[in-house]
Structure 1
Amino acid sequence: MISDRKLEHLEICKNYDVEHHETTGFEDISLIHRSLPEVDYDKIDTTVKFLDKKMESPLIISAITGGHPESTKINEKLALAVENTNIAMGVGSQRAGITNPELKDTFTVVRDNAPHAVIIGNIGAPQVEYAPDAIAMLDTDAIAIHLNPLQEIIQPEGDRNAVGYIENIKKICETTDIPIIAKETGAGISIDDAKILEKIGIDIIDVEGVGGTSWAAVETYRADNSSLGNLFWDWGISTAVSTIGVLESTNLPVISSGGIRNGLEAAKAIALGASCVGMALPFLKHAYLGHTFIEEKIEQFTRELKTAMFLVGAQNIEELQEKKLVITGKTREILNEMNIDTKKYARRI
């Protein structure tokens, strides 16, 4: 059953090593230190406008859970935290709550406890016909269509037929009034796919690249034969490469996610041009402790982000997006092979 699988996913993510062995690529990106920053730390503004709402920082708690009674408490704590700190959060795939009314409250608890926050709904590409119900369930500010072919092919009961995804997503984009987010689940989004998504009407891309939770790893723990999951544990595009590739090839806002663990890495993503950043696994583990622990983690993130902004002389997020940075190592090599000029980031005026 879907509900049982949701519980297994939670327990595995909580108790086992599920992260990529490969890195995000942000270690190859360096912001340029300013000895004369000419900003007042106490006046640094981390607010952003996202989905027509003002948020205190560009942080989104990425989709984590829903669809099992145990996830109700987790979503409640996450929702309380985002409401109290005025950031955004996404929910896990809502299919279980749509097809089984008894599980609906595992999702509605989010809007009940975060009436003013930015809430992002979630449905899988194979089930996009459920998008209107998912939107109505939570009065969402946007709906994410999650793309997870890697997870599906490793998952014992996964959907191995990806024919028709593009046309189905296009129909939802044409018939839905709120913004549609295309969201990967740990393998990154390529330039070619980003162009397709932009063409069919997607409004925002959440790259969720390699460097954080590997859903191939999660499904490896559930599979009778772990060889396939182990082989593809690190499959995909790094978060840094995917972020830059999508920004360079489309005009869409980008959420940079996948292994971002602190405000410094977030500052690098935003300096590249990302509108927001997403984090999930760290907040899941804090959610078992209580919403105050989640809020402390959010406040720590903001301090780290503000410190990075202070050290590069950025008074607000818009200024951070224009700051110089240097791209080196494997990340530069990959981007250069993709004909992306990495030197222009260091030449910014």
Structure 2
Amino acid sequence: MAAVKKSDVELRKESHIKVCLLEDVESDVSSGFDDVCLVHHAIVDLDRDEIDLSCEFLGKKMSAPLIVEAITGGAKIAEKINKNLARACEEVGVGFGVGSVRAALVDDALWDTYKVRDVAPTIPILSNIGLVQLIDEYDIRQIKDSCKEIGADGVAIHLNAVQETVQPEGNVNWKGSFERLKYFCQNLGVPVVVKETGAGICRETAIMISRAGASMIDVGGLGGTSFSMVEHYRDKKGQGLLFKNWGIPTVCSLVECRQAVNTGIIASGGVRDGVDAAKAIALGADYAGVALPVLKAATRSHKEVVSVLSRIIDEMRSCMFLCGAGSVSEMKKKDVVILGKTREWLLARGIRMDNLSNRESVDALREKVKF
């Protein structure tokens, strides 16, 4: 019997996984978290171990505001990775997103690489598809059916113009993309998260996304995995290396988006530990997203992923303790100072930061702090 030929999409997904595991695919540009200083509180009326990180995402409870971002799917080698990631997320109690389901829309045999409800029955799960594929490749029925197929609670529509630009087989005709985004947001019947994939979202785009009717924005900023660099390793004659550091650093994107819209926000792109995650919450994010830090662990076992996620959550709790925040909602009210290149960027964009660093006046504090 002749071997079953893999689709071009499956081969590409397989290649992406291998490159991310074997090569240095991170941007040289900082995500900006090093420029963010949380204000230390030397006296806190808290028990660190009683700090409440619980929250809700897509109508489901989570133990902490943490989401394992879309990493993979659509290749047989992705099945084990997704199962380990989802099983770990279920054990820890955080959200999970699968990679783009495009490969399974091309080849039904690949749906099993995305199906994780058997190991993750209660956590929030996001399906995933690229905006450019919604322009003329797939209709709303197919995307609705894909959610049912994998038991997803919502859909992440990803924006990857940089990757499409440098990819040899990329689609660079994005005419009509906003109207299609609006149509899908308003007619899918499930929550839609609009996410970047490593180049960030500016305030102008955030306003467009909000007006389109998206439930949430995932900033997917510069400073973490560079898919331009991933494509460079696939085709070294292309433009991937040139655009390795293209985009808006994560913290800049987060602050821009938060000050422009009231939509829920996920901060991702270079979030590497619980300190970064806590800073993101203090800057106005509702959730922090991680991907690369758990990928290698997921190739080995779900227990290793549990270890990584538990460490991040524990680090978040320590940060909140040292800031005097007993809950996620309290952490959002804590003062945060932005320095360095991140401050330069935000000032150049005309964005005020005193509402972050001086959230309460001295007089108000004197009234509040009474012993």
With the length of structure 1 as denominator, give the TM-score of the two structures.
0.98
Q: Write the distance in 1 (CA, Å) between the matches of 2:71 and 2:146.
A: 16
Alignment correspondent of 1:235: 246
- Please give the alpha-carbon distance, in whole angstroms, between the structure 1 residues aligned to 2:145 and 2:21: 30
Q: 2:72 aligns with which of 65, 73, 92?
A: 65
Aligned pair 1:22/2:22, yes or no? no
Task: Report the Cα distance in structure 2 between the residues aligned to 1:240 and 1:248, rounded to whole angstroms.
Answer: 12
Structure 1: runs of 5 or more not aligned:
none
How far is 1:42 from its partner? 1.5
- Asked if the contact 1:122–1:143 (Cα under 8 Å) also holds between the matched residues in 2, the reply is yes
* Equivalent in 306, 309, 315 of residue 295 of structure 1: 306
Aligned equivalent of 1:5: 12
Does structure 2 retain, via aligned residues, the 8 Å contact 1:203–1:253?
yes
| Structure 1 contact 98–133 (Cα < 8 Å) conserved | no
User: Would the aligned equivalents of 1:55 and 1:86 in 2 still touch at CA under 8 Å?
Assistant: yes
TM-score, length-scaled by structure 2: 0.92
Determine if the alignment matches structure 1 residue 169 to structure 2 residue 181.
yes
Q: How does 1:47-86 map to 2 (within 5 A)?
A: 47-86=54-93
Matches within 5 A, 1:1-349: 1-108=8-115, 110-128=116-134, 129=139, 130-226=142-238, 228-349=239-360
Q: Highest Rg: 1 or 2?
A: 2
Any idea what the Cα deviations from partners look like across 1:79-136, whole Å, max 9, x if unmatched?
A: 110111110010000011122111011111x122111111011011022324212212
Deviation at 1:237, TM superposition (A): 0.2
1:288-309 CA distance string (max 9 Å, x none): 1100000011110111001101
Q: What secondary structure, in the 3-state scheme, does the structure 1 residue paired with 2:118 have?
A: helix
1:283 is aligned with what amino acid? V
The one-letter code of the counterpart of 2:321 is F
Structure 2: distance between partners of 1:131 and 1:223: 30
Give the 3-state SS of the residue equivalent to 1:113 in structure 2. coil
Q: Is the 8 A contact 2:61 2:123 kept in 1?
A: no
Q: Is the 8 A contact 1:61 1:90 kept in 2?
A: yes
Using the TM superposition, name which of 127-136 and 217-226 deviates more: 127-136
Native 8 Å contact 1:122 1:134 kept in 2: no
1:32-71 deviation per Cα after TM superposition (whole angstroms, max 9, x unaligned): 0000111111210111111111100111000000001111
Secondary structure of the structure 2 residue equivalent to 1:112: coil
In the alignment, structure 2 segments of 5+ residues that lack a partner are 1-7, 361-371
Residues 213-257 of structure 1 deviation map (CA, whole Å, 9 limit, x = unaligned) = 00000000111404x211110000000000010010011010000
Report Cα offsets for 1:142-191 as digits up to 9, x if no partner. 10000000000111111111111111111111211111110100000111
Give the whole-Å Cα distance in 1 for the aligned partners of 2:148 and 2:236. 38
Q: How many residues align?
A: 347
Deviations, residues 245-289 of structure 1 (Å, cap 9, x unaligned): 001001101000000000001000000110001000111111011
Letter in 2 for 1:323: K
RMSD, aligned CA:
0.9
CA distance in 2, matches of 1:112, 1:169: 31
C-alpha distance in structure 2 between counterparts of 1:54 and 1:83, whole Å: 11
Tell me the CA shift for residue 333 of structure 1: 1.1
